[in-house]
Homo-oligomer: A and B are copies of this chain.
Amino acid sequence: MAVYTNLGAETLAELIATYDVGELVSAKGIAEGVSNSNWMVETQRRDGRSARFILTLYERRIETDELPFFLALLDHLAARGCAVPATVHDRAGASLRQVEGKAAALIEFLPGVSPSSPAPEQARAVGAALARVHLAARDFPLTRRDRLDPAANRATLAKLGPAGLIAIDPALADAPGWAEEIARRWPADLPRSIVHSDLFPDNVLMLGERVTGLIDFYFACDGMMAYDLAVTHAAWAFDRSGAQYSPAIGSALVEGYESVRPLADDERAALPLLAEGACLRFTASRAEDWIETASGAQVMRKDPMDFLRRWRFYREQGAAAFASG
C-alpha cells in the first residue's frame, strides 16, 4: 500500500496529454497495490466535462511481458459488458506506455466501495458477476498459465519444510499431507476459461447490492471455472480469521453464479476439493510471505492460519459446505 515512484506534476501532465482525455486537473497517489503505484487522476476537457481514471505504474513482481495479457483482458471483458474497468488507449492506440523507465497504464475509474462485511445479496451479485466474466472470457485469444496450481503450492510447503511450518503454528504440520492428497485427486477435465483467481471482497467495488467493478486481475490465468468459484467462496463466506462460516453467504454466492452459468454435475461434485485447493493456495503463499517478511517490517503479514481454518472446515464438511441454503 504505497506510492513507490514519485511522479512530478509536470511529468504526469505530459503523460496524460498523450491520451485524448483532456487536461490534468488533479492527481492523488492512492494507497492501493502492493507491487505497483497508483494515482487517482482527474481530467477536464475543453467543453468542461471531467473524467476520472486510475493511473498505474508497474513496479515489480508482475512481469512486464504479461501486462498486455492483463490489459487486453480488461478491454475484452469491458467490451462484453462485464463490470471491469476498460483501459484507455493513447493517441497512437497503445494501452501500455513507458514513464521514467516503467510500464504505465491508464484505466477507467469505477465508483463503488469494497464491502468489508458482505451481505448475502452482495455475494449473490458477485457470484453472478464472476459467472459473466467466465462466459465472456471464453473467446479471449490470449492465455496465461496458472503459476499457483496445487503442484506449485505443494512445492512451496515442501520448500518451507516441517520445521518452518511448525515454527509458524504447530497446526500447519498437517498441511503437507493434505496438499499431497489434493494434488493426487485434483481434477483435470472441468470446463475452463480465463479465471480471476483472487476475487476477495477487496477486489470488488459495489454500490449497495450492485457490483460496479471487479478489479485487480493480476492473478488472472487459464483455469477451471469451478475452481475460481471455489476460491471466491473461500474468500467471501468466512469471517477474516476463517473461524466462522456463513452458510447464507456461501449459498447466495453459488446461487448467484448459477443464475448466470449453471454448474455441471462434475463441477458441483468437485467444489469441496476445489475449495480445499483454494485454501492450500492461500495457506502456502501466506506461509511463504510470513517467513520471508521479517516481523519488524512495516508490511502487514497475512496470517496463514486464516486459511488453514477454512481448509479444515472444507475437509470436515465436504459436500455439506456447498449444500443449498
Query: A residues engaging B (CB < 8 A)?
Result: 1-3, 8-13, 24-32, 40, 42, 111-117, 205-207, 297-298
A30 contacts which of B12, B31, B114 (Cβ < 8 Å)?
A: B31
A9 nearest CB neighbor, chain B only: B113
Which secondary structure dominates chain A's binding surface?
mixed
A24 contacts which of B2, B30, B113, B298 (Cβ < 8 Å)?
A: B113
Give the residues in chain B near A115, CB-CB below 8 Å: 9-10
Given A30-B30, A30-B31, A31-B3: A25 in contact with B116 (beta carbons within 8 A)? no
23 A-B residue pairings within 8 Å (CB atoms): A2-B2, A2-B31, A3-B31, A8-B116, A9-B115, A9-B206, A10-B116, A11-B116, A12-B113, A25-B113, A25-B207, A26-B112, A28-B28, A28-B30, A28-B32, A28-B40, A29-B30, A30-B30, A30-B40, A31-B31, A40-B40, A297-B298, A298-B298
CA distance A40 to B109 in the complex (A): 13
A42 contacts which of B3, B29, B111, B297 (Cβ < 8 Å)?
A: B111
Cβ contact within 8 Å between B40 and A113: no
CA distance A111 to B48 in the complex (A): 14
A12 nearest CB neighbor, chain B only: B113
Q: How far is the CB of A293 from chain B (nearest CB, A)?
A: 12
A30 nearest CB neighbor, chain B only: B28
A116 nearest CB neighbor, chain B only: B8
CA distance A12 to B29 in the complex (A): 20
CA distance A13 to B114 in the complex (A): 11
Q: How far is the CB of A205 from chain B (nearest CB, A)?
A: 8
A208 nearest CB neighbor, chain B only: B23
Q: How far is the CB of A317 from chain B (nearest CB, A)?
A: 28
A207 nearest CB neighbor, chain B only: B25
Q: How far is the CB of A60 from chain B (nearest CB, A)?
A: 15
Cβ contact within 8 Å between A29 and B26: no
Given A2-B2, A10-B117: A112 in contact with B25 (beta carbons within 8 A)? yes
CA distance A298 to B34 in the complex (A): 14
CA distance A26 to B207 in the complex (A): 9
Q: How far is the CB of A208 from chain B (nearest CB, A)?
A: 9
Give the residues in chain B near A29, CB-CB below 8 Å: 1, 30-32
